[in-house]
Structure 1
Amino acid sequence: MTPALAPLTPNEAIALFTRTRARSDALAAPLSPEDTMLQSMEDASPVKWHLAHTTWFFEEFILKPRVPDYRSPDDRFAFLFNSYYTQAGPRHARDKRGLVSRPGGQAVRDYRAHVEDSLATLLMQRREDGDEIAGLVELGCHHEMQHQELLVTDLLHGLSFNPLLPVYKEPEPLEVTAGTELRFDSHEGGLVEIGHDGAGFAYDCEGPRHKTFLSPYEIANRPVTNRDWIGFIEDGGYGDARHWLMEGLAVAQREDWQHPLYWWQQDGTWWTFTLRGPQPVALEAPVVHVSYYEADAFARWAGARLPTEAEHELAFRDRPIAGNLMGDGDDIGMLRPMPGAGVWGDVWEWTASDFAPYPGFRPPEGALGEYNGKFMVNQRVLRGGSCATPREQMRATYRTFFYPHQRWQMMGLRLARDVA
């Protein structure tokens, strides 16, 4: 975590904590106990586990080290709900989380309430380490926001296997909107600075701010749409090896990719499974649930390329953080990409950049140093946030990262081109 220049006050930390926890509760509210147990693959986790793990984070990194008389409701929770923090102790197998039927849903809700009450009490004490505690609460809240995004995308993947095609959020008709004409905006490049400047919250991997050189480039004014993608499909793009990286083509053939995840064709119309159940593909909305390999192949087919993360940040860092993002409280947002020409929200946009440390990066000491640093290999950076990213988490320097074959997140793309 990069420390904020102006640490949160206890009241500010409590307010952020309260908002964040309430959003998780709102996301889980429509679900049955059976829904919260779904784990459809190793990459995904059950809703119940997300609710418990984010609670364990506050307990493990704030309460246990700083409150001598703190007692967990169950010491076994530390084993069940640790994720990948090896320095925090042993943990349950990731691919077996869906088999943990107990503790039940009420026990997890009681655990959340216990930790919330204990943390609120701690924050109201006058302590010499109050600023450090407030900073850790802020980190814990942003950690929970990441899991809120995972919660809904993991849930979508799990529900997609149900032949009843269940609905999480009530269907709403999309307004009929005209498509946004594709345009490329020019940028001179040169020696630029990117990365977090130290003002406000950021994850450790967003810094240090540093200089990098960019050649002149153009970047699209909107993400690639479903209409664009159907053109790629109809032109045989999935079967044309000229557009594909060798590894990507091998994965596409092995997995029999013929279209984005959750799509199917019925009576000549493309349909997709969403959190609102089955829906016709919205032609002018950004394409979503495509891998890096597919995004790269599409860009080559379109005579373009994917932008680097530095190009993306330079082009859009002065744009206000507004768009189709996850909201607060009961108004959690659309939770699906919408037609338009937004920069923030809708879909995370694949970049051509490896998830690698910036020059001078040093992870924090201790288990929290495992948060990002140990994942800096074989993954690609995405920028821009999605319809499942909480609004107050977004900033222009935010880097998320996934493996190039993964598709279950809200992943799309925006094109870029070199300038001769």
Structure 2
Amino acid sequence: MQTANPKPADLADDAQALFRATRARSRELVADLAPEDMVMQSMEDASPTKWHLAHTSWFFEQFILRERVPGYASPDDRFAFLFNSYYVQAGPRHARSQRGLITRPTVAEVMAYRAHVEAAMERLLDEGDPEVAELATLGCHHEMQHQELLLTDLLHALSFNPLMPAIRPPEPRALSDDQPLDWINFDGGIREIGHAGPGFAYDCEGPRHEVLLRPYALASRPATNADWIAFIEDGGYADARHWLMEGFAKAQAEGWDAPLYWWKQDDEWWSFTARGPQPVNPHAPVVHVSFYEAEAFARWAGARLPSEAEWEVAAQGSEIAGNFMDEGALRPLPGQAGAGLQQMHGDVWEWTRSSFDPYPGFRPPEGAIGEYNGKFMVNQYVLRGGSCATPRAQMRHSYRNFFHPDRRWQMSGLRLAKDG
């Protein structure tokens, strides 16, 4: 974690406000869910809603309350085993693939656990310790990540229900005109990327460092559903010329012929969304595609994926605004006409061609908290920009999301790039 050096009192006040807002949002996200909705686990990569709610509380308990509050007592010490995720140094943990089998504690007991942790954290934050405030800020950003995962994991689980239940009430499809794709040129040269200066950032976002870029161009908007339908209709999924060999083998083995959650009905493409089943919006960014699919689409389009350095340099100086979780749409929306780069933030995570590697000089923090990012720096690719399920407060130009190249259940899409 990296932060600026504000006055201790300001840091403590900001952390307390962030803590209250973050915990309240988690409650809001699940307010309309039934207990049955909150216990499903549809695959090993996804976790039940109840587990997300408990794990984010365990994080505050494990890394702050147990360390900073003498005599702190958990409601149940067994929760440390049930709700640890991957922190080996924090102790043993329940198998990830079996989280959906944890019917006890009940949802009500998990919510009581959350309330217990919140009360203890409020008392501790009242003391104004800047080190506690810094750790609490990390815990809040951790919970924001799980708020996004809660939504995408729940969407995946509900997609198996023939009734196609919606997370949120259905809304009409947003209408717009087709936005032409323009190319925005950027000079090459030595540039800086990575977090520096005020505000929170994860350890993997630094150190800030120089990169050498050749002249390049980015598409003015993300690839849309209409673009993707053209790829499908041109036989893109069956044409090995466009694919990395490993990606084509995966697509063939899994029977991919469209993005995740798509199906055809009466010659029209439909998709399952957080708003229930809806006709695919041709002008909205395509979503739920893997790195392999994004790479194949880019080759088919006569372009390529950007590097994360190209993406970040292009985004620097722009306002972080867009269709985030805060806007409540919970689905990508069509862009608006305008000059320059559009929809760089929100709507859809954009795959890059960059592997999730450490920046020069990266060192993870000591202890279990250092397991947050560093040990995942292998066999994964970076995505940038946030999505319609990302809390706005989490987004920074330097933010690095990462997933394995075959993952599709996240709100992942792409923006084309080419050499200048």
- TM exceeding 0.5: yes
The whole-number CA distance in structure 1 between the counterparts of 2:174 and 2:305 is: 30
The whole-number CA distance in structure 1 between the counterparts of 2:188 and 2:156 is: 39
Per the TM alignment, residue 244 of structure 1 is displaced from its structure 2 partner at its CA by: 0.3
CA contact (8 A) 2:174 2:333 kept: no
What pairs up with 1:72-221 in 2 under 5 angstroms? 72-125=74-127, 130-221=129-220
Cα deviation code 1:374-398 (max 9, x no counterpart):
0000000000000000011101000
Give the match's secondary structure for 2:319. coil
Cα deviation code 1:268-321 (max 9, x no counterpart):
000000111110000000000000000000000000000000000000121101
Q: Aligned pair 1:413/2:414, yes or no?
A: yes
Q: Which residue of 2 aligns with 1:335?
A: 330
The whole-number CA distance in structure 1 between the counterparts of 2:175 and 2:52 is: 36
The whole-number CA distance in structure 2 between the counterparts of 1:11 and 1:313 is: 31
Q: Aligned pair 1:357/2:358, yes or no?
A: yes
* AA partner of residue 282 (structure 1): N
CA contact (8 A) 1:184 1:218 kept: yes
CA contact (8 A) 2:192 2:209 kept: yes
What pairs up with 1:36-55 in 2 under 5 angstroms? 36-55=38-57
* AA partner of residue 39 (structure 1): Q
Q: Aligned pair 1:276/2:303, yes or no?
A: no
The whole-number CA distance in structure 1 between the counterparts of 2:223 and 2:205 is: 26
Give the match's secondary structure for 1:9. helix
Per the TM alignment, residue 150 of structure 1 is displaced from its structure 2 partner at its CA by: 0.2
The whole-number CA distance in structure 1 between the counterparts of 2:217 and 2:234 is: 25
The whole-number CA distance in structure 2 between the counterparts of 1:140 and 1:125 is: 17
The whole-number CA distance in structure 2 between the counterparts of 1:125 and 1:69 is: 17
Give the match's secondary structure for 2:35. coil
Cα deviation code 1:168-191 (max 9, x no counterpart):
111111332101110010000200
The whole-number CA distance in structure 2 between the counterparts of 1:175 and 1:277 is: 14
Structure 1: any 5+ residue segments left out of the alignment?
none
* AA partner of residue 399 (structure 2): Y
Give the match's secondary structure for 1:3. coil
What pairs up with 1:224-373 in 2 under 5 angstroms? 224-327=223-326, 333-340=328-335, 341-373=342-374
The whole-number CA distance in structure 2 between the counterparts of 1:87 and 1:51 is: 22
The whole-number CA distance in structure 1 between the counterparts of 2:252 and 2:202 is: 36
Cα deviation code 1:334-353 (max 9, x no counterpart):
10000003110000000000
Give the match's secondary structure for 1:103. coil
Give the match's secondary structure for 1:41. coil
The whole-number CA distance in structure 1 between the counterparts of 2:50 and 2:166 is: 19
The whole-number CA distance in structure 2 between the counterparts of 1:313 and 1:31 is: 37
Give the match's secondary structure for 2:325. coil
* AA partner of residue 346 (structure 1): D
The whole-number CA distance in structure 2 between the counterparts of 1:176 and 1:143 is: 35
The whole-number CA distance in structure 2 between the counterparts of 1:175 and 1:56 is: 39
Give the match's secondary structure for 1:53. helix
CA contact (8 A) 1:263 1:272 kept: yes
The whole-number CA distance in structure 2 between the counterparts of 1:342 and 1:3 is: 27
Q: Which residue of 1 aligns with 2:339?
A: none
Structure 2: any 5+ residue segments left out of the alignment?
336-341
CA contact (8 A) 2:288 2:408 kept: yes
**How high is the sequence identity, in percent, across the aligned residues?**
67
Normalized against structure 1, the TM-score is what?
A: 0.97
* AA partner of residue 77 (structure 1): F
* AA partner of residue 357 (structure 1): P
Q: Which residue of 2 aligns with 1:14?
A: 16
Q: Which residue of 1 aligns with 2:4?
A: 4
Matched residue pairs, number? 412
Per the TM alignment, residue 19 of structure 1 is displaced from its structure 2 partner at its CA by: 0.3
The whole-number CA distance in structure 2 between the counterparts of 1:377 and 1:5 is: 32
CA RMSD in angstroms comes to 0.9
The whole-number CA distance in structure 2 between the counterparts of 1:175 and 1:355 is: 34
* AA partner of residue 209 (structure 2): H
Structure 1 residues 199 and 9: CA distance shift in structure 2, 3 A: closer
Normalized against structure 2, the TM-score is what?
A: 0.97
CA contact (8 A) 1:5 1:198 kept: no
The whole-number CA distance in structure 1 between the counterparts of 2:55 and 2:87 is: 12
